[in-house]
Amino acid sequence: MRKIALAVHGGCGVMPEDGMSAEDWAEARRDLAEALRAGYAVLKAGGRAVDAVEAAVVVMEDSPHFNAGHGAALNENSIHELDASIMDGETLAAGAVSAARTIRNPVRAARALMEDGRAVFLTAAAADRFAEAKGLAVEPQSYFTTEKRRQALAAMKAHAAAGTEGTENEKHGTVGAVALDAAGHLAAATSTGGYTNKPDGRVGDSPVIGAGTYARDGVCAVSGTGKGEFFIRYVVGHEIASRIAYQGQDLSAAARGVVDGDLAPHEIGAGLVAVDAEGAVCAPYNTPGMFRGWVTSEGKAFVATHETIYEVAL
């Protein structure tokens, strides 16, 4: 059996460790571990990478601890607008939705659109209608709202009024997964509520193929998190793949070159998870922390939010 690999993230820009209770941090790590288990179970059974990343992201969309699905950020009008995408590195097939308001698991809608094949990207009400027509679960806006997100919106509006900056954790967050399956195929998926107090209708990098999500067999799969406008401008996922394919860089050098090099002058929060064709995994970030987890080629699983890394059972 060839190597299999999986990595997930739940967003960079983690607040200081004393910003949440020990139990809240522990619950977030437990949900990261559950995402790893869901994705790894697919891979271990010989399943496809694209199925594994979808399964992992669904777990994080259902968790209130991450900015995607249940627990997503609120925009300037106190509305949830949800973005997600998925890409199959074997065929370069992809699906994406943005500014959706009712889809319980936006990554499932992105996957359904990829399988439908008539379009790569649907937005707003059309994405919601597509998901419902495909029989996917839909929810009222209240389902996505948590007290934490209400407080974050109030805080960001106060910052805007005072002309001050919010914390990375108040601003944004994303979830994502990358995988290599036993057949050597790669896949990536990303989902987000965008950033708190974002303009109505704003779309970031998460649903933009090549920016926040990218996968190409024989090269790498990437899922990003951070200030999406810059991930779009630098086409981050594709840039990392290009450095590997055309310059012969290894995965870590390519990923860190973008996060610590290209994006550094802009002083933005940025992070990502990536896996290459040989199963190497990296998870660079430039903020105080990043919700992240991965499974080694030996089948050992780890999760982390800050510097401390915890081994978890699969």
Label each residue of 210-279 as H, E or C.
CCCEEEECCCEEEEEEECHHHHHHCCHHHHHHHHHHHHCCCHHHHHHHHHHHHCHHHCCCEEEEEEECCC
What whole-number percentage of the chain has pLDDT above 90?
89
Q: Spell out the domains of the chain, with CATH numbers in brackets.
A: 5-312 (3.60.20.30)
Q: Is-contact 257 274, C-beta < 8 A?
A: no
What is the enclosing helix (H) or strand (E) of 172? none
* Helices 49-62 and 22-44, packing angle to 10 deg: 160
Query: Which pLDDT does position 173 carry in this prediction?
Result: 85
Neighbours of 242 (CB within 10 A): 16
| The token pair that represents 17 in the structure block | 């460790």
Given a cut of 80, whether residue 86 has pLDDT beyond it is yes
- pTM exceeds cut of 0.85: yes
- Name the active-site residue from 102, 145, 167, 174: 174
Q: In the chain, what is the greatest distance between 2 CA atoms, to the nearest angstrom?
A: 58
* 164 annotated active-site: no
Given a cut of 90, whether residue 237 has pLDDT beyond it is yes
| The token pair that represents 143 in the structure block | 């389902």
pLDDT of 153-200, one tens digit each? 999 999 889 988 776 556 668 999 999 999 999 999 999 999 999 999
Per-residue pLDDT averaged across 33-54, rounded?
98
Query: Which pLDDT does position 298 carry in this prediction?
Result: 85
What whole-number percentage of the chain has pLDDT above 70?
96
Given a cut of 90, whether residue 272 has pLDDT beyond it is yes
Question: Mean pLDDT score of the chain, rounded to an integer?
Answer: 95
C-alpha atoms less than 13 angstroms from C-alpha of 2 in its C-beta half-sphere: 16
Query: Which pLDDT does position 165 carry in this prediction?
Result: 77
Cα–Cα distance for residue pair 292/132, rounded to 1 Å: 31
Per-residue pLDDT averaged across 205-223, rounded?
98
